A and B are shown apart, each in its own frame.
Chain A
Amino acid sequence: MALLQIAEPGMSTAPHQHRLAVGIDLGTTNSLVATVRNGVAVVLNDARGHGLLPSVVRYRADGGVDVGHAALARAAEDPHNTIVSVKRFMGRGLRDLPDLATLPYQFVDAPGMVRLRTVAGEKSPVEVSAEILKVLKARGEAALGGELVGAVITVPAYFDDAQRQATKDAARLAGLNVLRLLNEPTAAAIAYGLDNAAEGIYAVYDLGGGTFDLSILKLTRGVFEVLATHGDSALGGDDFDRRIYCWILEQAQLHTVDDHDKAMLMAKAREAKEYLSDHDEARITALLASGQVIDLLLSETTFNDLTASLVNKTLTPCRKALRDAGLRVQDVKGVVMVGGATRVPRIQAAVGEFFGQMPLTNLDPDKVVALGAAMQADVLAGNKSGDDWLLLDVVPLSLGLETMGGLVEKIIPRNSTIPTARAQEFTTFKDGQTAMSIHVVQGERELVADCRSLARFELRGIPPMVAGAARVRVTFQVDADGLLSVTARETGTGIEAGITVKPSYGLSDDEVAAMLRASYEYAQDDMAARNLAEARVDARRLVEATQAALAENGDALLSTEERAALEKLVAALDNALAGDDLAALKRASDALNHGTVEFAARRMNLSVRKALTGHRLDELEI
């Protein structure tokens, strides 16, 4: 029997229509799933009472997959097949990965993103991440007693487009409907801000296992506005471990280390770092495969010396973000610390020194991101009226195009509030040119070679003209997930040739579908059932949303005939929902979607007019 949760006033759902939604912090070291239950955000534990799921996936020779503690426990024993910190490889090519030498994996260079060779075959980081997400999804469903309508998944604010797209693909592969990709520091700000009724300028210092973000937010009356974000998507707690690891090698005069010892010593290094959070020194003991015994004493002072340059490296983004926001250190009212690595006393001291105030540590740095994501998921799923708060986030890195001479022309500057769009016109440089190649890049540097290449595509079918006569309009659109799509269109002659690309580094829709098919869980029948189930969820949501809209503004905005036509489309979709013909369901959904366009436009116009009414009155008073 289903158990009931207390709903927000007026937000009770019909039986079997609970909009169960979760927030997922897909971390480098640990992952968590949280939800809002009875009005309160809580982290969901597994059956053993663990909230944190180690982000570790082990592929076994028998075809099985272990995730979490079970996988972590075998990391030293089975290093090639036990993938730790997979987040570092998301959306990355082989040449983007530093510290290859300290990693025990067998990498396969593949276009766009590396792959890892395991006993279960070559795995993309997207597939590995999907294994973690599947476990969290199952945990959420067990704890909430039903299927999830969707999840908010957090990503480092400084993740580029490739890394975001890879994360979204992993979620799709795990069978999760992504309500939104949310930046980790923003999620933390929601959890902190709502709990403490914070107002003013806040900095969120988020040092995760493998990524560092610094976001500056302005909190006013329930609006969380990100003013600037900076970071380093290849700097995190792992690097502190690696420094200790290298120190161990040096002290013990080890020159070659096999992969087992490597994984074991990395684990010892991490333990030592954590131990030093509350102690002056940590003892590191280990027995190597060679029989050599390691017994070392690491003092806090030595640890601080080893990692001083890493701590300093985090302060540069602090400076840059403040400058981009046009603010000074004195303007910052509070500094929220996020990520397990911020427990390191030297980091807290350095951040305190930089901002001239002790950072806020009154919340659990491991959980705050998941809790904020859960709160946002609750709003996006429609369980809250949504008037309580509004998020305005930004693009972390400039987006641009390659122009002549390998230079970058920026189209969307970093820290633009999303969603955003910009268009730029280009022209042909040769007589009779009928195609133009377009190379989309992300980054701040002037040379294409120094930026991240996101996609290349060709616009064909330009009518042959003299050089400079054709006009090609390239439009960049970044959506609310921070994901880019690019359109190019030849407009000079009125003949339009358009193409929309999803940048090509990630996985194509076909590839994701193929992976889904290949996964043993989804046999052909299951696939069809799953498609139908997904279409049903979408259709039901559409019926519900249209009915709500009709009830709210139907009389005011529609003529009797228009209303009757829409109601007919709703009834037709309702009818299709009763059967199990996928094609009929899709047709009825498309028809209703198409039919509501004009009504939706009128509703939006009304909303904007409503929002301004207050200001018009202001004017009258003046």
Chain B
Amino acid sequence: MPVTLSERAATHVKNFLAKRGKGIGLKLGVRTSGCSGMAYKLEFADAEDPEDLKFESHGVTVYIDPKSLSYLEGTELDFVREGLNEGFKFNNPNVKSQCGCGESFNV
């Protein structure tokens, strides 16, 4: 499996999709921008794009565009809590360096 969700992340995603009332899964990707060259894209998917690759992890359908895949290969998406803040975190083995905030990275 090239990209996975931690069980905790999957539970939260399913919960958010249910409360949101629409959506067929999660769309992951990378784009070039930010201080270290690349940035993650994490969005709800409302419709299937035929070009996207489709994975299933802990019951969540994940869509990735083929161009992004090489940068995400082996990534695990986790859900963590830090103090009052909570959210998703990409554990990406391809990353060589990232900016202090973790929102932008280099491969």
Contact = CB atoms under 8 A, between A and B. Distances in A.
- Direct A–B touching, Cβ under 8 Å: yes
A6 B44 CA distance: 6
A5 to B, nearest CB: 5
B102 A40 contact: no
B53 interface: no
Contacts of A142: 83-85
Nearest to B26: A6
A11 B45 CA distance: 11
A6 B16 contact: yes
Interface string A9-23: 111101110000000
Nearest to B39: A15
A143 B84 contact: yes
Measured as residues with beta carbon below 8 angstroms from the partner, the interface class of chain A is: 20 to 34
16 contacts: A2-B102, A3-B80, A3-B85, A4-B89, A4-B90, A4-B103, A6-B13, A7-B42, A9-B45, A9-B47, A15-B103, A37-B87, A38-B20, A39-B19, A45-B84, A142-B85
A144 interface: yes
B44 A39 contact: yes
Interface string B75-98: 000001011111111100000000
A1 B43 contact: no
A47 interface: yes
Interface of B: 12-13, 16-17, 19-20, 23, 26-27, 31, 33-35, 39-47, 80, 82-90, 99-104
Interface in A19-43: 37-40
B103 A12 contact: no
Given A2-B101, A5-B42, A8-B44, A38 B84 contact: no
A320 interface: no
A1 B34 contact: no
B103 to A, nearest CB: 4
Contacts of A145: 82, 85, 87
Contacts of B104: 15-16
Contacts of B90: 4
Given A6-B26, A38-B12, A47 B42 contact: no
A37 B102 CA distance: 19
Nearest to B82: A3
Contacts of A452: none
A375 to B, nearest CB: 12
B80 to A, nearest CB: 7
A14 B103 CA distance: 9
A144 B82 CA distance: 10
B99 A15 contact: yes
A475 B5 CA distance: 59
Nearest to B77: A4
Contacts of A270: none
A1 B85 CA distance: 11
A3 B42 contact: no
Contacts of A8: 43-44
A143 B85 contact: yes
Smallest CB-CB A-B distances: 9 pairs: A3-B87, A1-B102, A15-B34, A15-B103, A39-B20, A143-B84, A38-B16, A15-B104, A145-B85
A9 B89 contact: no
